[in-house]
């Protein structure tokens, strides 16, 4: 029995040592390999967030914000600097929410725009999360605790991909589409021009009704409480809907949001009926907007924030 236990301890020790050595090689010698990709924009977004003095406007959510906001409109209307933290739905809502913790100051306006409120939390796509944070250790606290074991399990796959990119010389290269780091402007908006009617992809799925869960609502309540502790405000807005005759009705959306409002203390300041936009305002999915679409949506959000009591500084 003692011999068996000894072998188990030796195996564990060797495994841990192997992981540590390989991780050191990966993060000290190979990574990063995605520094010019779309998700690497998190580096610039977080740097801006940490550099801005309060009061400021902070947009929290996925790519519906990255591809669907003209932050200059909000900055001009309210006289506060804006940072758009919108990134990628594959990272999960909790990841996006955690980006703002520790950076909330007095007078800040936090605006949350998820494309679903029914997620269970944690890490949605662990490999994508590695590609996002890479060797930027200051970003690792953003990773939800309950998803870190899944992250560890996919570390070898990330390491293999990085090694392959390094060996072939294909790492740290920008693409020619809008999914690249330098497609973003200083606010964190995708600023590469996206004209009406031009689509990079075909067969983009139409959005359905968003889900609502107590888990997500609970996290939003904690974020709302964190804002109150820091004398900041927090609001929920909605994502844009393609008005092509196939979308759910505004009444159906209202029922969903009524369920969310029952579970959250955070005010829902927008109604989907105001966020139905013509198809030509959408770029390559039903969540992404053209340049003109993003501007129109920003104007509507500014009106909603003003109606909620946000005043120019």
pLDDT digits (tens, 9 = 90+) for 47-91: 999 999 999 999 999 999 999 999 999 999 999 999 999 999 999
Percent of the chain whose predicted confidence (pLDDT) is above 70? 88
- Mean local confidence (pLDDT), 35-52: 98
> Tokens 């990773």 sit at which residue?
143
> Is 5 a domain residue?
no
> Is 24 a domain residue?
no
What pLDDT was estimated at residue 72?
Answer: 98
Whether the pLDDT of residue 202 is over 70: the answer is no
What pLDDT was estimated at residue 274?
Answer: 98
What pLDDT was estimated at residue 284?
Answer: 85
- Look at residues 30, 32, 29 and name the one whose alpha carbon lies nearest to residue 181: 32
CB-based burial label for 299 (10 Å; 0-12, 13-18, 19+): middle
Whether the pLDDT of residue 3 is over 80: the answer is no
Percent of the chain whose predicted confidence (pLDDT) is above 90? 80
What pLDDT was estimated at residue 15?
Answer: 44
> Is 16 a domain residue?
no
Domain coverage including residue 286: 34-307
> Is 73 a domain residue?
yes
What pLDDT was estimated at residue 11?
Answer: 46
Beta bridge partners of 184: 190
3-state secondary structure 158-208: HHHHHHHHHHHCCCCCCCCCCCEHHHECCCCCECCCCCCCCCCCCCCCCCC
> Is 52 a domain residue?
yes
Whether the pLDDT of residue 4 is over 70: the answer is no
- Look at residues 135, 110, 68, 82 and name the one whose alpha carbon lies nearest to residue 226: 110
Average pLDDT, the chain: 91
Whether the pLDDT of residue 7 is over 60: the answer is no
What pLDDT was estimated at residue 245?
Answer: 86
Cβ–Cβ < 8 Å for 269, 301? no
Q: State the greatest distance between any 2 C-alpha atoms of the chain, in Å, as a whole number.
A: 73
Whether the pLDDT of residue 244 is over 60: the answer is yes
What pLDDT was estimated at residue 99?
Answer: 98
- Mean local confidence (pLDDT), 290-294: 95
> Is 201 a domain residue?
yes
What pLDDT was estimated at residue 28?
Answer: 65
- Mean local confidence (pLDDT), 183-212: 77
What pLDDT was estimated at residue 145?
Answer: 95
What pLDDT was estimated at residue 218?
Answer: 97
> Is 12 a domain residue?
no
Cβ–Cβ < 8 Å for 285, 204? yes
What is the pairing mode between strands 109-113 and 57-61? parallel
pLDDT digits (tens, 9 = 90+) for 125-181: 999 999 999 999 999 999 999 999 999 999 999 999 999 999 999 999 998 889 999
> Is 28 a domain residue?
no
Question: For the chain, what is the domain count?
Answer: 1
CATH at 60:
3.40.50
């Amino acid at each position: 029995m003692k011999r068996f236990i000894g072998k188990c301890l030796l195996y564990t020790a060797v495994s841990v040592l192997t992981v540590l050595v390989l991780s050191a090689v990966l993060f000290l010698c190979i990574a990063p390999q995605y520094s010019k990709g779309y998700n690497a924009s998190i580096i610039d977004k977080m740097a801006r967030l940490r550099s801005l003095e309060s009061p400021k406007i902070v947009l929290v959510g996925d790519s519906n914000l990255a591809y669907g906001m003209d932050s200059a409109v909000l900055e001009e209307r309210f006289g506060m600097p804006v940072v758009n933290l919108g990134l990628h739905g594959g990272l999960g809502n909790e990841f996006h929410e955690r980006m703002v913790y520790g950076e909330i100051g007095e007078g800040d306006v936090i605006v949350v725009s998820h494309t679903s409120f029914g997620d269970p939390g944690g890490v949605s796509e662990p490999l994508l999360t590695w590609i996002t944070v890479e060797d930027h250790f200051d970003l690792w606290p953003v990773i939800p605790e309950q998803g870190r074991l899944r992250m560890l399990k996919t570390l070898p796959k990330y390491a293999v991909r990085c090694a392959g990119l390094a060996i072939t010389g294909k790492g740290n290269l920008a693409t020619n589409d809008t999914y690249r780091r330098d497609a973003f402007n200083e606010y964190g908006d995708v600023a590469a021009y996206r004209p009406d009617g031009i689509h990079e992809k075909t067969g983009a799925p139409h959005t359905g009704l968003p889900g609502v869960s107590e888990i997500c609502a609970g996290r939003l309540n904690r974020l709302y409480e964190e804002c109150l502790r820091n004398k900041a405000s927090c609001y929920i807005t909605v994502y844009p809907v393609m008005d092509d005759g196939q979308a759910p009705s505004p009444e159906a959306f209202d029922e969903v949001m009524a369920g969310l409002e029952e579970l959250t203390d955070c005010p829902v300041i927008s109604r989907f009926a105001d966020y139905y936009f013509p198809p030509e305002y959408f770029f390559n999915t039903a969540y992404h907007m053209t340049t003109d679409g993003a501007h129109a949506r920003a104007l509507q959000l500014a009106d909603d924030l003003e109606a909620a009591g946000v005043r120019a500084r």
